[in-house]
Amino acid sequence: MNATGWLNWRSLNQEGIVFAIAVVLFIAAAIGLPGFINSNNLVAIVRSVSVLGILALGMAVVIIGRGIDLSAVAIMAMSVAWYLQLLSSGMSDGLAFAYVLAGVLAIGLLNGILVAYAEVPAIFVTLATASFVFGYVRSQLITQDAVPVPPGHWVELLGGLRFLDIPVEVFVFAGLAFAFFLFLRYTKWGRYVYFAGDNPVAARNIGIPVRPMLVLRYVLSALVSLIAGLLTAASLHSINTRIVNSTLLYDIVLVAVIGGIGLSGGRGGVRNVLVGAALIGILLNAMTIIDIPLLYQNLIKAAILLAAIIVDGFINPRDEQTAQQGDI
C-alpha cells in the first residue's frame, strides 16, 4: 500500500486485493447472515484462526527469509503429545517441560543447521524432519494418537482463561503478532531477515551473519509451533496427533501466501498474516453459518485463493525486475 491508498487500483497488491475481498465478505455476511455481527461471533472468528495465525507468524518469518518450514505442524502436535504423555507417566512438570523444550529446540536447530550449513533446500529438510518427528514420537514416545491433558493441570486451566470474555488464544495471537511486528520492523536482526531473504549473497557480502540467522528463524518457528500446540491442547483438553495428516500445514502456508508474503522471500510482514487470517476466518465462519458442506467449503476456499493469485498476476505482472532466483 502506498500513500495514495486504495484509490489507485494499479497500486493494489495481493494484500490489498485479499483485504478488499475480506471486507466485502464481511459486509455481505453482516447484512445477509443473522448473528454474524454479534460480538461473540466476532470473537469466535478471531479465536478460530488464532492457532492458525500463530503458526502462520512463525511460517511468515521463515518465508520472508526465503525458506519454508514444513515441520511446523508435526512439531506442534508431537511436542505437546510427548509432554502430556510424560506427565501422565508421572514425571514432574518442570522436568517434562524441560525435556520437551530441549526437543523442540533441537529440531529447530537441526532444521536450521541443515539448511544454513549443509545447504540442503529447506523444503526437503523440513519435510524430512516433519516425518522424523512424527514417526519417532508416535512410535517411541507415545502410545496413542490422542493424549489427554491430566485433570487440573495448568494447560487445562490455561484453556479456561478469559479476559473480558475473550479466550486466551486471542491475546496470545495478538501479543505474538505485535512482538513479531516489533522484531521485523524495528530490530536490526529483524531487518536483516528481509535483506537475507531478498538477496542472500549480497546480504552476506555486506557482513550480515546470514547463516546463524537462518538457524535462528527455524528455532523461532519451532518455538512458535510449541506455543500453538499448547494452546490447542488447552482448549480441547487433549491433543490428537492425527492433525499432522490434516490440511493444517497447507492452511498455514495459505494464510501467509494469500496475505501477500511472496514465497520468493524478502517481502511481506505481520500485516499480511493478519489479512490472510482475517479472510480465512470470515470465510470459514460465514460458510459454517450458511451450513455449506465441507467439500464445497474446500472448493470455495481454493477458488478464492486462485482468484487472488490470478488478479495479482494481472495487476503485478512478473518481469525480470520482480522475478528472483529461487522463486518457488
Chain contacts with other proteins (rule: CB under 8 A): 34-35, 38, 40-41, 44, 47-48, 51, 138, 143-146, 148, 159-160, 167, 232, 235-238, 240-243, 245-246, 284-285, 288-289, 291, 293-295
- Shortest reach from residue 234's CB to other proteins, in Å: 10
- Shortest reach from residue 23's CB to other proteins, in Å: 20
Grid look-up 536447530 returns 109
Question: Given the complex with other proteins, which of 291 and 320 has the nearer CB atom?
Answer: 291
- Shortest reach from residue 315's CB to other proteins, in Å: 33
Question: Given the complex with other proteins, which of 64 and 284 has the nearer CB atom?
Answer: 284
Length, in residues, of the chain: 328
Grid look-up 505485535 returns 178
- Shortest reach from residue 250's CB to other proteins, in Å: 13
Question: Given the complex with other proteins, which of 81 and 125 has the nearer CB atom?
Answer: 81
- Shortest reach from residue 11's CB to other proteins, in Å: 35
Yes or no: say if 71 and 126 are a contact pair by the CB < 8 Å rule.
Answer: yes
Question: Given the complex with other proteins, which of 11 and 238 has the nearer CB atom?
Answer: 238
Question: Given the complex with other proteins, which of 238 and 316 has the nearer CB atom?
Answer: 238
CA angle at residue 74 from 68 to 78, to 5 degrees?
A: 150
- Shortest reach from residue 292's CB to other proteins, in Å: 9
- Shortest reach from residue 301's CB to other proteins, in Å: 13
- Shortest reach from residue 14's CB to other proteins, in Å: 26
Question: Given the complex with other proteins, which of 240 and 316 has the nearer CB atom?
Answer: 240
- Shortest reach from residue 62's CB to other proteins, in Å: 23
Phi-psi region of 195 (alpha: psi -120 to 50; beta: other; left: phi over 0): alpha
Yes or no: say if 133 and 75 are a contact pair by the CB < 8 Å rule.
Answer: yes
Angstrom distance (rounded) from CA 22 to CA 90: 47
Question: Given the complex with other proteins, which of 121 and 148 has the nearer CB atom?
Answer: 148
**Burial status of residue 292 (CB atoms within 10 A of its CB: 0-12, 13-18, 19 or more):** middle
Q: Which of 71, 83, 82, 96 is nearest to 219 (CA)?
A: 71
3-state helix, strand, coil in the chain (%, to 5): 75, 5, 25
Q: Which of 18, 12, 63 is nearest to 316 (CA)?
A: 12
Radius of gyration of the chain (CA): 20
Question: Given the complex with other proteins, which of 125 and 168 has the nearer CB atom?
Answer: 168
Q: Which of 78, 126, 60 is nearest to 277 (CA)?
A: 60
Phi, psi angle pair for 120, to nearest 5° = -85, 140
Question: H or E segment at 46?
Answer: helix 39-48
Q: What are the grid coordinates assigned to 161, written together?
A: 482463561
Question: Given the complex with other proteins, which of 237 and 271 has the nearer CB atom?
Answer: 237
Three-state DSSP class for residue 71? coil
